[in-house]
Amino acid sequence: MFKKLLKAVLPNPLDWIIKKAKKRGNTRFLLAWNRGLGDIALGLYAIVHRIKTNIPNAQITFLIRENLKEGFSLFDGVKFHVVPSFRRGVPYNILEAMKEVGLKEEDYDVLIEKPDPTYWVKWQRGKLTPKLKWSSAYDSLYKSLGLDEKYTYIAVQIHAETNYGLWRNWPISHWESLFNKLQDKEMVRILLLGFEQNPKINLPNVIDLRGKTTLLQVISLVKNLCSYLIVPDSGILSMLYYLDASFPLKIISFWGDPRHGVLKQRVASPNPMLSHIPLIGKKRDLSSVSVEQVCKLIE
């Protein structure tokens, strides 16, 4: 409670950093990021936007972990360095991380070790639309997966793959029931996305791509081959929702708590052809979202 009161009366830390940097003529910013993929669009985009609005010639660089590299490749206007020792949830020191990748402290004016998008850029909600830059050179990446394009494909992520909030996940029993019902649609195939290969789903209409694709392959696949994306609140959802490209896609998303992710941002996707249908569980209980509700949304 005390911390909340302090935040309410103290200046916004990011605005204070920017004000001081502008006064000193600082332009070279280095930020460390070792948290979620979805936060690239949900928070870091707004931090960069705020800095560049006030300091147009700002040069912004991030220190990141390996599995964020492809996500940051869609983040226009920033540079990044992969720190081999970065592991999610493991504390780090920005100066040590800089040494690890051969950067010198004197090459930067402002070091931001732990940016806090949740607090620093809450002003963006309902006002700023994040946009992730897509290159047409990535469009063919899905073809290496060897999928038969005669089928209608439904892309699915059955687990949010985050250590924060088990309430984000629709029950596995519901997923299995949905997949069984979809077997009636002969020309429909389900593509499992993500990294974690459990639980196993052994059904003839399910193609398990978990752990077999890069992020850019996943986006290429959904963008160019899939009619539907069914997901919990996850990094994959945020990356596709804020992709600055025009392509038809119907997203069905699950929410144990709507005060998070793209729902919290309260802005439309930059993709004018994207349709988003959020299904919200009662009292953080996603089991209250029925399989029948989802089936009715799939034509």
pLDDT in tens, 34-58: 999 999 999 999 999 999 999 999 9
The reported pLDDT for the residue numbered 31 is: 98
Cβ neighbours of 255 (radius 10 Å): 22
- Please give the residue range of the domain that contains residue 227: 140-297
Statement to judge: residues 112 and 207 lie in one domain = no
User: What is residue 5's three-state secondary structure?
Assistant: helix
Statement to judge: residues 96 and 148 lie in one domain = no
Statement to judge: residues 194 and 88 lie in one domain = no
Residue 2 lies inside a defined structural domain of this protein = no
The total number of structural domains in the chain stands at 2
Residue 179 lies inside a defined structural domain of this protein = yes
The torsion angles phi and psi of 168, rounded to 5 degrees, stand at -75, -15
User: What's the whole-number mean pLDDT along residues 115-142?
Assistant: 96
Please say whether the beta carbons of 98 and 30 come within 8 A. yes
Statement to judge: residues 169 and 61 lie in one domain = no
User: What's the whole-number mean pLDDT along residues 179-198?
Assistant: 92
The reported pLDDT for the residue numbered 11 is: 77
- Give the torsion sign (CA, 34, 71, 161, 201): negative
Query: Does the pLDDT value for residue 7 go beyond 90?
Result: no
Domain end among 92, 124, 156: 124
Statement to judge: residues 82 and 213 lie in one domain = no
Residue 216 lies inside a defined structural domain of this protein = yes
Query: Does the pLDDT value for residue 2 go beyond 50?
Result: no
Statement to judge: residues 293 and 147 lie in one domain = yes
pTM: 0.93
Strand 188-192 to strand 152-156: parallel, antiparallel, or no bridges (unpaired)? Answer: parallel
Q: Which residue has the higher pLDDT, 61 or 89?
A: 61
- 78-89 CB burial, b ≥16 within 10 A, e <16: bebbbbeebeee
| CATH number of residue 201's parent domain | 3.40.50.2000
The reported pLDDT for the residue numbered 181 is: 95
Statement to judge: residues 151 and 77 lie in one domain = no
User: What is residue 153's three-state secondary structure?
Assistant: strand
User: What's the whole-number mean pLDDT along residues 268-278?
Assistant: 98
Query: Does the pLDDT value for residue 5 go beyond 80?
Result: no
Statement to judge: residues 75 and 203 lie in one domain = no
Rounded to whole angstroms, the Cα distance separating 143 from 146 reads: 6
Residues 6 or more apart whose Cβ sits within 8 Å of residue 285: 167, 256
Please state, for a pLDDT cut of 70, what percent of the chain lies above it: 96
Confidence of residue 167 (pLDDT cuts 50, 70, 90): confident
Statement to judge: residues 87 and 200 lie in one domain = no
Query: Does the pLDDT value for residue 6 go beyond 60?
Result: no
User: What's the whole-number mean pLDDT along residues 206-220?
Assistant: 97
| CATH number of residue 31's parent domain | 3.40.50
Confidence of residue 280 (pLDDT cuts 50, 70, 90): very high
The reported pLDDT for the residue numbered 163 is: 67
